[in-house]
Amino acid sequence: MKSLSYKKIRRWAIAMIALGLLVGGMGPAPQASAATLSVCASGCSFSTIQTAIAAATPQDTISIGPGAYVGPIVVTKNLRLIGSGAKLTTIFGGVIAVGLSNVTLEGVTISKGLNGLELRNAAVVNATDIVIAGNAANGVALFGDSALSLISSVITKNGISILGNPIGSGIAARNSARINVFNIVITENGADGISLLDDASANISLLTSISKNGLDGVQLGGRSRATIDSLNSSGNALYGLAIEDNSQATVSGSEFSSNGKAGIHIGGPSSTLVGGSTLTDPPVTATATITSTTVSGNAIGILIGDLSKQRESANVTLRSVLVEKSSVCGVLIDPQAPKIVTMSDMSFSDNAQDKCSS
Amino acid sequence: MTKSNNHWPDSSAGLSRRSFLKGAGAGALALSLGPLAGPWVQAAETITIGMANPLETFFGQAAEKALLLGIKQINASGGLLGKNLDLITSDTAGRPDQALLAVEDLANRGADFLTGFFFSEALIGTIPAIPVVRKILLDTGASTPVLTIQVSKDYNNFKFFFRLGPVNSFFLLQLSVGFVRDFLEGKLGWKKIVLLAEDSAWTKPITDSFQTLLGAFGSKVQVVDVIRYAESTTDFTSLFSRAVKAGSDGLFTIMAHTGTRPTAQWAAQKVPLPLVGINVQAQQGNFDQLTNGAAESVVTLTSAARAPVTKKTIPFVDDFAAFSDVFPQVTIPSYNAFSSYDALFMLKEAVEKAGTLPDNEANTDKIIAELEQFGALKDGKPTDLFVGTTGHLGFYQRGEIGVTPLMPKQAFPHDLRFGPGLAGGLWIQWQSGKQQVISPANLKTAGFVLPPWMR
């Protein structure tokens, strides 16, 4: 994979945000009349973040000094929350953005919440240089029509296991939520790295790394959609990328390696509706276009279908994809349901079998 | 730490549930959100029921249909405290992680009460959210005892949870053992069975203790093999061969999520063993079509059927079949549809007795107190039972132990009472394309038949 310097990445991402091409309605820019309210353990106007938020007016900046602060912090207005750096400023108990709030969040660690960062309703959050770690459920949870832009941040070790059931993803979005992640590390979370359900959507790009999560690296279910560029998804327990139900993905310039079941899975159920569990709705079709991508060192490189159900269809285009070192099969197509698979300029290397059908 | 139903496992991701609750202070976490963003935000005009289920399954659709039918009936008769009811839904996808999100989603969207859940694993996934959203949650489909054990251990944070059905896994085991003793052994003369169980959270207490409880119940039936299979199993041929070689009189199934495929293969292979037990998929009206005609002679436990279990049962089944506002293809209520309907009307009664909606925790507690009155012990006997479609319903109380010989020192507060005169279920068998009741005797509509290839 090609590499970009951090400065270039950051400059590009910020430029994108400034152009308003990403999330609808970006973070509040400081205005001439905006005030800065300082929060710190002693010697500042405020000793808690929540009281500073209560006193702030829209467009103000909350400057958070080094130290640990108890949440959950609830934000209901347009504010900038600027920490002293993720190594110095920690918020315990989570940050919740609600309603029509438009929040900029920088330089903090968020830990020990139910969800680390939670967006409800139509909240918009632009977060940069943050760490979200050690929350009970999800690192980030998005509901409603909320939108998140996340740059140069780490989401790790969120979620718990209860009686062997993994709970909590790095980022989980449902309803109509939207996420844009750039240059992010998402690793060692209990369930998926990124999970989308319903009509949620995502742009995942710029050397984002998703690894060692308890289920899938990226999981698309429902009618969700994702555009993925320059992603490295590796070492996840199930799939590097799972495109299931009626979801759609466009993938380019990415790498999927050493995932437990398959590098990429297209066309199965996102749910645990196993064993022919009585679905009464019409068959569904997952759709994927994958180009200029490497799939390496997985049990199955690309799995199309799920080998057990008959209702899951898929429409797949593979172009300039290298599939290598698959211990079971490079591209495995389950023939039980209609599959439209177009392959061109493919490369296969060192697979147990290059192409198979169950 | 031992992995069992009354212990928490160690965290696999660096943070255990215990340390989360201790560190974050779940109750305080919720209450500190304040009136704007806290759990008590609610719609002013309607009372919102939030249902979390695997929405794409028959069971999710049957539960939704039952709730919508009940809501329509309640609204037509004046609503609840002068307000109409409304239903919102959220998909659990049968997954614990998505179930947790579904609970949060419903709470965020203003649900006043929560209901649903089909997979026990999904219900277990809601545990971190229950102390935070602090909404009354009525389980209508999952049988794991983990949640009611949690109520006994941490009442303040889990008092919101009640199970309307089915009875928990321990009582499902007792029901099953009673059926083996009284019917399979007593009436059919069976001496040996093989347990065929999906490898799932709810089946473990059953397979672990089946043989022991048979003996304790005075049965001489032997469990000659226990076959636990992965839910992803696609070919049951070798498992059926194993069961036949074991020399049993029949296969006793313990399956909720996976019954369609094994049943279809059992019939296709003409396995010379009757298929009886818990086979939740066989509750579906179109089970015969789903199994390519394999339903004949399959027996399953269910919560109710079109039989005079109570005065409410047959009218509900008929109303359900006639209700075509949603899912017209779903014509026979599943066990969780019965329970969902009962949950709605029990909730209505409790709210009316409390005279308040759950607009703050004090008022929520008043409704919880009224729910706890259903089945409250007086002179050692449960009283004030709610008459539902599945029978007479009440809940175990706090500190009430000795309710099952399988965990004699464990209390299961807010779990559905089990015993004589209470809701417990009945056994149905597919015969000529119809579900017939074969047990208990007072509700029996037909006798037992063997599979066609064994007649």
- pLDDT digit string (tens) for B225-240? 999 998 878 889 999 9
Residue A112 lies in a domain: yes
Residues B33, A137: C-beta atoms closer than 8 Å: no
Q: What are phi and psi of B268, to 5 degrees?
A: -60, -35
Indicate the DSSP class of residue B452.
G
Task: Please write the tens of the pLDDT for every residue from A278-298.
Answer: 443 456 788 999 999 999 999
Please tell me the predicted confidence (pLDDT) of residue B3.
27
Kindly tell me if the per-residue pLDDT of B371 is higher than 50. Answer: yes
Under DSSP, the state recorded for B74 is H
- Do A103 and A125 form a contact (C-beta atoms < 8 A)? yes
Give the whole-angstrom CA distance, residue B313 versus residue A357: 49
* CA–CA gap between residue B39 and residue B27 (Å, rounded): 11
- Our CA-based measurement puts residue B202 at a distance from the nearest CA of chain A, in whole angstroms, of 12
A139 in B contact zone (CB under 8 Å): no
pLDDT in tens, A245-272: 889 999 999 999 999 999 999 987 766 5
Quick one: pLDDT at residue B257? 78
Q: Which residues from chain A sit within 8 angstroms of residue B258, using beta carbons? A: 274-277
pLDDT digits (tens, 9 = 90+) for A336-355: 767 788 999 999 999 999 99
Residues of B in contact with A195 (CB under 8 A): 97-98
Residues in chain A within 8 Å Cβ distance of B124: 162-163, 165
pLDDT of B6 reads 27
Token pair of B20, please? 């989360």
pLDDT at B285 over 70: yes
Smallest Cα distance from B393 to chain A, Å: 29
**Tens digits of per-residue pLDDT, A76-92?**
999 999 999 999 999 99
3-state secondary structure at position A30: coil
A220 touches chain B (CB under 8 A): no
Over residues B68-81, mean pLDDT: 97
A36 in a domain, yes or no?
A: no
Task: Report CA-CA distances (Å) from B243 to B199, B220, B266, B272, B447.
Answer: 17, 19, 11, 10, 25
Q: Is residue A231 over pLDDT 90?
A: yes
A250 vs A224: CA distance, rounded Å: 12
In a domain, A308, yes or no: yes
Q: Is residue A49 part of a domain?
A: no
> Quick check: B12 and A161 CB within 8 A?
yes
Assess contact for B236 and B264: CB atoms under 8 A: no
Q: Does residue A87 lie within any of the structural domains?
A: yes
Put simply, whether A260 touches B (Cβ < 8 Å) is no
Nearest to A202 by CA among A187, A223, A233, A216: A223
Across the range A182-195, mean pLDDT stands at 96
pLDDT at A334 over 90: no
A209-213, B178-182, B303-307, B435-439 — which is least confidently predicted? B303-307
Interface test with B, best of A273, A284, A309, A358 (most B CBs within 10 A): A273
Q: What distance in Å separates residue B350's CA from the closest CA in chain A?
A: 30
Percent of chain B residues past pLDDT 70, beyond the cut: 90
Residue A336 in contact with partner chain B when CB distance is under 8 A:
no
Evaluate whether B431 touches B450 at the Cβ level (below 8 Å): no
ω into A58 cis (within 30 of 0): no
Tell me which of B18, B100, B158 to substitute to probe the interface with A (most A C-beta atoms closer than 10 Å).
B100
Task: For residue B12, list chain A residues with Cβ-Cβ distance below 8 A.
Answer: 160-161, 166, 190, 214
Question: In whole angstroms, what separates CA B191 from the centre of its chain?
Answer: 30
Phi, psi of A298 (to 5 degrees): -95, 165
Q: How far is A64 from chain B, CA to nearest CA, in Å?
A: 20
Residue A222 inside a domain? The answer is yes
A137 and chain B: CB distance < 8 Å anywhere?
Answer: yes
Q: Identify the CA nearest to A215 among candidates A177, A268, A167.
A: A167
Task: Please give the pLDDT value at position A31.
Answer: 55
DSSP secondary structure code for residue B180 in this structure = I
Residue A22: the pLDDT is: 43
CB-CB neighbors (< 8 A) of B34 in chain A = 74
Closest by Cα among B446, B80, B90, B217 to A141? B90
Other CB atoms closer than 10 Å to residue B117's CB: what's the count? 32
- B41-61 average pLDDT score: 83
Q: Which pLDDT band, with edges at 50, 70 and 90, does B323 fall under?
A: very high
Amino acid present at B63: A
Residues in chain A closer than 8 A to B105 (CB atoms): 143, 174-175
Dist. CA B332–CA B433, nearest whole Å: 13
The model's pLDDT over B135-180, given as tens digits with 9 standing for 90+, comes to 999 999 999 999 999 999 999 999 999 999 899 989 989 999 999 9
Which one of B56, B103, B255 would you mutate to disrupt binding with A, by most A Cβ within 10 Å of its Cβ? Answer: B56
Q: Is residue A17 part of a domain?
A: yes
Interface test with B, best of A280, A303, A306, A311 (most B CBs within 10 A): A280
How confident is the model over A211-220, as a mean pLDDT? 96
Determine the residue of chain A that is closest to B260 in CA distance. A276
HEC sequence for A65-127 = CCEEEECCEEECCCEEEECCCCCCEEEECCEEECCCCEEEEECCEEECCCCCEEECCCCEEEE
* Full residue range of the structural domain in which residue A312 is found: 6-30+63-357
Structure tokens at A196: 């989308």
Which of the four pLDDT bands, split at 50, 70 and 90, describes residue A311? low
Whether B133 has a pLDDT exceeding 70, the answer reads yes
Residue A45 located in a structural domain:
no
Q: Out of B36, B128, B258, whose CB is closest to A136?
A: B128
Of all residues in chain A, the one with the smallest CA distance to B288 is: A278
Nearest CA in chain A to B144: A163
Instruction: Check which CATH number belongs to the domain holding A241 and give it.
Output: 2.160.20.10
* Residue of chain A minimizing CA distance to B35: A74
Query: Is the CB of residue A137 less than 8 Å from the CB of residue A114?
Result: yes
Would you state the pLDDT for residue A310?
56
The interface predicted TM-score of the complex, written ipTM, equals 0.86
Model confidence over A117-146: pLDDT tens digits? 999 999 999 999 999 999 999 999 999 999
Could you give all domains of chain B from N- to C-terminal order, each with its CATH number? 17-166+328-393 (3.40.50.2300), 170-302+425-454 (3.40.50.2300)
Q: Which residues of A touch B15 (CB under 8 A)?
A: 112, 134-136, 157-160
B36 has a pLDDT exceeding 70: no
Residue numbers in A near B232 (CB within 8 A): 274-275, 308
Confirm if A50 and A74 have CB atoms less than 8 A apart: yes
Q: Which of B12, B232, B260 sits opposite A190 (nearest CB)?
A: B12
Number of domains in chain A: 1
* Residues B106-115 pLDDT 10s: 999 999 999 9
